[in-house]
């Protein structure tokens, strides 16, 4: 393979890794938005629950004892889901190239071939991509756990409401 062909191949790989890094940035934004969606829906469910409890007459507010357990579990799941949803939106520092690294490259790589420079760029982008994968993987697990907590919380809440409605007859 001649030098220009190597430069071209390295450029293609570099561009591909650049696209992967951009995709992970988009994924990060999506995961954070999903975390916020979980927090929003949990907040709405809790607000409706408290609003409903506030408009009930005092005689109807008494829950049967069998509904207490599912209600406590539901609220625990909803709180856990909310906390996990918030954690998924916490800004995490993603590794980026700093000015000092770039200055070092400019000063010490003068006279290097295009292929050497392109290889260094590829390696740097690959390092950034690997770190993004790890961090986004953690965010994805957090969003998944938040969603599971939300669904379980709503399920237990429905169970508690079902018990209360059945006992009210």
What secondary structure does DSSP assign to 85-103, as a single string? HHHHHS--PPP---HHHHH
Which tens digits make up the pLDDT trace of 61-92? 677 889 889 999 999 999 999 999 999 998 87
* Total-model pTM: 0.78
When comparing pLDDT for 136 and 9, which is higher? 136
Task: Return the pLDDT at 95.
Answer: 65
Determine which helix (DSSP H) or strand (DSSP E) holds 133, and give its type and residue range: helix 114-168
Which tens digits make up the pLDDT trace of 104-114? 766 766 777 77
Cα 47 to chain centroid distance, Å, stands at 24
């Amino acid at each position: 393979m001649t030098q220009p062909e190597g430069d071209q191949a390295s450029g293609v790989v570099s561009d591909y890794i650049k696209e992967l890094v951009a995709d992970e940035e988009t994924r990060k934004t999506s995961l954070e938005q999903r975390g916020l969606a979980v927090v929003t829906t949990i907040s709405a469910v809790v607000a409706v629950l408290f609003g409903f409890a506030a408009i009930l007459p005092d005689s109807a507010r008494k829950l049967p004892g069998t509904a207490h357990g599912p209600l406590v579990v539901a609220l625990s799941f909803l709180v856990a889901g909310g906390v996990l949803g918030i954690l998924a939106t916490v800004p995490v520092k993603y590794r980026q190239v700093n000015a000092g690294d770039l200055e070092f490259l400019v000063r010490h790589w003068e006279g290097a071939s295009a292929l050497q420079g392109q290889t260094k760029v590829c390696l740097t982008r690959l390092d950034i991509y690997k770190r993004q994968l790890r961090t986004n993987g953690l965010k994805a697990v957090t969003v998944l756990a938040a969603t599971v907590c939300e669904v379980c919380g709503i399920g237990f809440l429905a169970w508690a409401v079902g018990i209360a409605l059945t006992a009210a007859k």
